[in-house]
Amino acid sequence: MNKARRSLGRWIFLRSALLTWGAMAHVAPPHAREAFTLFVGLLSRVLPALAVVFLLLFVANLVMEQPWIERHLGRESGFGGWLIAVAAGVLAAGSLYAWYALVGELKQKGLRPGLAAAFLYVVSVKLPLLPLLVDFFGLTYAIVLNAWLILFAVLGGLLVERFEIPRRIRS
């Protein structure tokens, strides 16, 4: 599919979403107002996370050149690449979907697919919520849960690499 056709499809989707929204506002104004209020609330929570991700994308483009990524996170990165991916995923804050853009950008620069999968999986380990997890479920549970999350992040990454079908990422 060529670029112009994809662009046209995006505009058609936007137009149909706006028309649907307008029809809903015409048919059920109170529901449309409530939905719009919820949308604005969600947008106010998502925008700061997206701003951080775009800032990180900007910094990553300045600092992380393709040779560095290929050496430390590429096909030949070895155990160190797994450590970097898992540690970065554990330290990453915010929602998972906010990290997709950064991981996609790094993947275009040479990030191994398995490391990308491991990073995205291990983002579910939330360090700020760890005290709450320990308080509700106990220390043993918290340790076992997080150890399993990290282990399965690596195993999932290895499976992604094993069964990967190479394809180009859209830019």
One digit per residue, the tens of pLDDT, for the chain of length 171 reads 566 666 778 888 889 988 988 898 889 899 888 988 998 888 888 788 778 777 776 776 666 665 666 665 667 777 878 888 888 888 877 777 778 888 888 888 788 888 889 999 998 888 778 888 898 999 999 999 999 999 999 999 999 988 877 666 555
Give me 100's structure tokens.
């997709």
Q: Are residues 70 and 122 in the same domain?
A: yes
134 within a domain of the structure (yes/no): yes
Q: Are residues 83 and 159 in the same domain?
A: yes
53 within a domain of the structure (yes/no): no
Residue of 72, 162, 170 lying closest to 117 (CA atoms): 162
Q: What is the pTM of this model?
A: 0.59
Give me 69's structure tokens.
């990524």
51 within a domain of the structure (yes/no): no
58 within a domain of the structure (yes/no): no
149 within a domain of the structure (yes/no): yes
57 within a domain of the structure (yes/no): no
Q: Are residues 83 and 17 in the same domain?
A: no
Residue of 67, 66, 56 lying closest to 91 (CA atoms): 56
Q: Which domain holds residue 5?
A: 1-46
Give me 130's structure tokens.
């760890």
123 within a domain of the structure (yes/no): yes
Q: Are residues 98 and 155 in the same domain?
A: yes
The reported pLDDT for the residue numbered 140 is: 95
Number of structural domains found in the chain:
2
Q: Are residues 77 and 141 in the same domain?
A: yes
Give me 132's structure tokens.
């709450």
Q: Are residues 103 and 169 in the same domain?
A: yes
Q: Are residues 17 and 87 in the same domain?
A: no
Q: Are residues 37 and 110 in the same domain?
A: no
Q: Are residues 27 and 92 in the same domain?
A: no
56 within a domain of the structure (yes/no): no
Q: Are residues 108 and 164 in the same domain?
A: yes
Distance CA 28, CA 19 (A): 14
Distance CA 35, CA 24 (A): 10
Q: Are residues 41 and 80 in the same domain?
A: no
Q: Are residues 36 and 116 in the same domain?
A: no
Residue of 98, 103, 46 lying closest to 69 (CA atoms): 103
CA 104 to chain centre: 9
